[in-house]
Amino acid sequence: MSIEERLRALYSLQLVDTEIDKIRVLRGELPLEVQDLADEVEGLETRLGNLKDEVSTLEKAIQTKNNEIAEANALIEKYEDQQKNVRNNREYDSLSKEIEFQNLEVELCNKKIKEFTAQLEEKKGVFSQSEEALEARRGDLDNKRKELDEITEETRREEDVLNEKSEKIASAIEERLLSAYRRIRSNARNGLAVVTINRDACGGCFNQIPPQRQLDIKSRKKVIVCEYCGRILVDDEIMAG
C-alpha cells in the first residue's frame, strides 16, 4: 500500500470505529438511567413501607387512647355511683379527687388523639403522594427498560456489521501502523486517532497547524502526527481523491 492508501485506510477505520463508539456510548448511558430509576423506585418503596408502619402506629395509638378514655369513663361512672353510698365527707372527697383525675386523663387522651389524628392525616397525604410518585417512576422504569432492550437488540446487529467492517479494514493495514493507531486511540478521550484539519487547526486538539505542514499533509507522502496531541493528521479531502 502507498502512504496515501494507508492514510485513507486509517481514516476509513477511524470513521467506522467512531460509529461503533457512538453506539456504545448510547447503550452505555441507558443502563445507568435504568439503574438510577430502579434505585429511585426501591427508595420510594422503602419510604412507602416506612410510612405504612408510621400510619399503623398512629392508628394504634389513637385506638389505645380511645380505650383509655373508655376505661376512664367507666371509672368515673363507678366512682360517681360509690359517692351515692359514702359514709362520710372524707370518702366523698377522695372519690371526687379520683373522678377529677380520670376527667383529666380523658382530657389528656383527647388532646393526644387530636395530635395523633393531625399527624395521621399528614402521613396519609405524604403516603398518597409517594404512591403516585412510585407509580409514575415504575412506569418510567418499564419504558426505559423496554427502550434499553430495543436499542440493545437493534444496536447489537448494527455493531456486529460495523465490527466486521472495522476488522476488514484493519486487516489491510500493516501491524506497526495499526498498533500506533490503536495506541493513540486508546489514549484519546474521544477515541479519535486520525483527524482532519479544520480551519487550519488539528481536528482533535484544535491547535493551529502551520501552512507548510498543511501542504505536507495534503501531499499524502508520509504519515504526519500533530505535534501537540500526537493524533494522525489527514486533509479533509482524503476520501475524495
**What one-character-per-residue DSSP string does 158-174 give?**
HHHHHHHHHHHHHHTS-
From the CB of residue 126, how many other CB atoms can be counted at a distance below 10 Å?
15
8 A C-beta contact, residue 188 and residue 231: yes
Domain 27-172 architecture: Orthogonal Bundle (1.10)
> Is the full-model pTM beyond 0.75?
no
Q: Which amino acid is at 59?
A: E
* Contact (Cβ atoms closer than 8 angstroms) between residue 79 and residue 105: no
Q: How far is CA 185 from the centre of its chain?
A: 30
23: nearest Cα among 165, 185, 162:
162
* Annotated domain spans of the chain: 27-172, 177-234
The backbone torsions φ and ψ at residue 233, rounded to the nearest 5 degrees and listed phi first, read -105, 135
* Mean pLDDT across 44-72: 96
Instruction: Give pLDDT, residue 241.
Output: 56
Q: Confidence class of residue 202 from pLDDT cuts 50, 70 and 90?
A: very high
Single-letter amino acid code for the residue at 90: R
pLDDT at 155 over 80: yes
Q: How many Cβ atoms sit within 10 Å of the Cβ of residue 177? A: 16
Residue-level pLDDT at 238: 87
Query: Is residue 226 helix, strand or coil?
Result: coil
> At what angle are helices 89-171 and 3-83 packed, to 10 degrees?
170
> Which residue has better confidence, 14 or 1?
14
Phi/psi of residue 216, each to 5°?
-65, -40
